[in-house]
Structure 1
Amino acid sequence: MPTVNLWATDGYVGTPDGKNVYIWGFTDKEGGAAQLPGPAIIVKQQPYLIPTVVTVNLTNKLAEPVSLVFPGQGEVRVNGQPAQPQYQGDKLVSFINHALPGETITYQVTLTGPGTFLYESGTYPHRQVQMGLHGAMIVRPPDYLGLHPEKQTAYGRNTGTEFDREYLLVLGEIDPGLHQSVEHGLPYDTGEFNPRYRTINGKCWNGTVSGDGDGHLPARPYGSMIMMEPGEKVLLRCAGAGFESHPLHPHGNHARVVGLDGKLLQNCGISGTTDLSFKRFTILTGPGQTCDLIYTWTGPGYEPDTNPIPTRLPQIRKMALAPTGLTMWSGSPYLGVKGELPGEIESCNQIGEYHFMLNSHGVPGITGQGAFPGGMPAMIAVYPAGTLEPHHGMLPTESHTP
Structure 2
Amino acid sequence: MKLKYVAFLFFLVLILGACSNQSNTDEGTKSEEKPTTTGVVTTSTQVLTGNEISLVAKEADHQLTTDVKVDAWTFNGSVPGSQIRVKEGEQVKITLKNELPDPVSIHWHGLPVPNEMDGIPGVTQNAVQPGETFTYEFTASVKGTYMYHTHQDGVKQLDKGLYGSFIVEPEETTYDRDYTLMLDEWMSNPDEASMEEMGDMEGMDHSNMSGMSSEDNSEENEDRSDGGMEAMEHSMDSYDIFTINGKSGDLIEPLKVKEGEKVRIRLANIGFMSHKFHLHGHKFKVVAIDGQELNEPQEIEDELLTIAPGERYDIEFVADNPGEWFLECHGDMEGTDGMKTKIQYEGNTKSTDESNQSENLPEFTFTNYGVAKDGEFTLDQNFDLEYTMNLNTEMDNSEMVYTINGKTFPDTENIVVKEGDNVKVKLVNNSESDDHPMHLHGQFFQVLSKNGKPIEGSPIIKDTINLKPGEEYEIAFKADNPGNWLFHCHDLHHASAGMVTLVTYEGFKPTFTPDPEAGNKPE
State the TM bucket, normalised to the shorter chain. 0.5 to 0.7
1:259/1:277 contact within 8 Å kept: no
Does the alignment pair 1:198 with 2:239? no
Return the letter of the residue paired with 1:279.
I
In structure 2, relative to structure 1, the CA distance for the partners of 1:357 and 1:366 (3 Å cut) is: farther
In the TM superposition, what whole-angstrom CA distance separates every residue of 1:332-385 from its partner, at most 9, and x where no partner exists? xxx6xxxxxxxxxxxxxxxxxx21211111232764xxxxxx421210112359
RMSD over aligned CA atoms reads 2.5
Does the alignment pair 1:181 with 2:192? yes
Gap runs ≥5 in structure 1:
28-33, 47-51, 88-93, 145-152, 154-161, 211-224, 267-274, 300-334, 336-353, 368-373, 386-402
Query: Secondary structure at 1:99's aligned position in 2?
Result: coil
Give the Å deviation of 1:247. 1.2
For residue 86 of structure 1, the aligned residue among 121, 128, 132 is 121
Give 1:379's aligned residue. 342
Return the letter of the residue paired with 2:267.
C
Give 1:157's aligned residue. none
Give 1:35's aligned residue. 78
Q: Separation in 1 of the partners of 2:269 and 2:334?
A: 13
2:120/2:151 contact within 8 Å kept: no
Does the alignment pair 1:364 with 2:333? yes
In structure 2, relative to structure 1, the CA distance for the partners of 1:23 and 1:5 (3 Å cut) is: same
Give the Å deviation of 1:7. 0.7
Return the letter of the residue paired with 2:103.
P
2:269/2:307 contact within 8 Å kept: yes
Return the letter of the residue paired with 2:288.
G
Give 1:167's aligned residue. 179
Does the alignment pair 1:23 with 2:96? no
Does the alignment pair 1:70 with 2:105? no
Return the letter of the residue paired with 2:329.
S
In structure 2, relative to structure 1, the CA distance for the partners of 1:85 and 1:283 (3 Å cut) is: closer
Does the alignment pair 1:355 with 2:324? yes
Give the Å deviation of 1:173. 0.9
Give 1:345's aligned residue. none
For residue 153 of structure 2, the aligned residue among 114, 121, 124 is 124
Q: Separation in 1 of the partners of 2:334 and 2:137?
A: 36
Identity, % of aligned pairs? 29
For residue 232 of structure 1, the aligned residue among 261, 268, 288 is 261
In structure 2, relative to structure 1, the CA distance for the partners of 1:121 and 1:277 (3 Å cut) is: farther
Q: Separation in 2 of the partners of 1:376 and 1:84?
A: 30
Return the letter of the residue paired with 1:205.
G
In structure 2, relative to structure 1, the CA distance for the partners of 1:365 and 1:77 (3 Å cut) is: same
Q: Separation in 2 of the partners of 1:11 and 1:243?
A: 22
1:365/1:376 contact within 8 Å kept: no
Does the alignment pair 1:293 with 2:293? no
For residue 162 of structure 2, the aligned residue among 108, 115, 133 is 133
Return the letter of the residue paired with 1:107.
Y
Query: Secondary structure at 1:364's aligned position in 2?
Result: coil
In structure 2, relative to structure 1, the CA distance for the partners of 1:74 and 1:262 (3 Å cut) is: same
Q: Separation in 2 of the partners of 1:24 and 1:190?
A: 19
Return the letter of the residue paired with 2:58.
T
Q: Separation in 1 of the partners of 2:290 and 2:304?
A: 17
1:73/1:110 contact within 8 Å kept: no
Does the alignment pair 1:45 with 2:67? no
Query: Secondary structure at 1:187's aligned position in 2?
Result: helix
Please say which structure displays the higher CA radius of gyration. Answer: 2
Give 1:3's aligned residue. 52
Give the Å deviation of 1:180. 2.2
2:86/2:140 contact within 8 Å kept: no
In the TM superposition, what whole-angstrom CA distance separates every residue of 1:89-130 from its partner, at most 9, and x where no partner exists? xxxxx7654211111010112223111100111111122112
Q: Which structure is higher in helix share?
A: 2
Q: Separation in 1 of the partners of 2:270 and 2:330?
A: 18
1:360/1:366 contact within 8 Å kept: no
In the TM superposition, what whole-angstrom CA distance separates every residue of 1:222-269 from its partner, at most 9, and x where no partner exists? xxx111123321100111111111111121023211001111112xxx
Give 1:222's aligned residue. none
Does the alignment pair 1:99 with 2:128? yes
